[in-house]
Amino acid sequence: MIDSTSVRAHQQAATAKRGIEIIVSVVPEAGSRPKSTRCVDGQGLPIRLSLTAGQSHDGQAADDLLDHVGAGTIVLADKAYDADRIRSSLRAKGAFANIPPKANRRSKPYFSTWLYRERNLIERFFSKLKHFRRVATRYDKLAENFLAMVQLASMRLWLRIYESTA
* Domains defined along the chain, listed by start: 2-162 (3.30.420.10)
**43/161 Cα distance (integer angstroms):** 10
Residue 146: alpha-carbon gap to chain centroid:
14
Segment 46-102, tens digit of pLDDT: 888 888 777 777 777 788 888 888 898 888 988 988 999 999 999 999 999 999 999
**Which residues lie across from 36 on neighbouring strands?**
5, 51
Q: By the 8 A CB rule, do 109 and 87 touch? A: yes
Which residue would you say has higher pLDDT here, 16 or 118? 118
Residue 150: partners with Cβ closer than 8 Å, 6 or more residues away:
36, 49, 51, 129, 135
Q: How many CB atoms lie within 10 A of CB 149?
A: 16
Region 10-18: mean pLDDT is 51
Query: In terms of pTM, does the model score above 0.85?
Result: no
Residue 30: alpha-carbon gap to chain centroid:
22
Segment 92-134, tens digit of pLDDT: 999 999 999 999 988 889 999 999 998 888 888 888 888 888 8
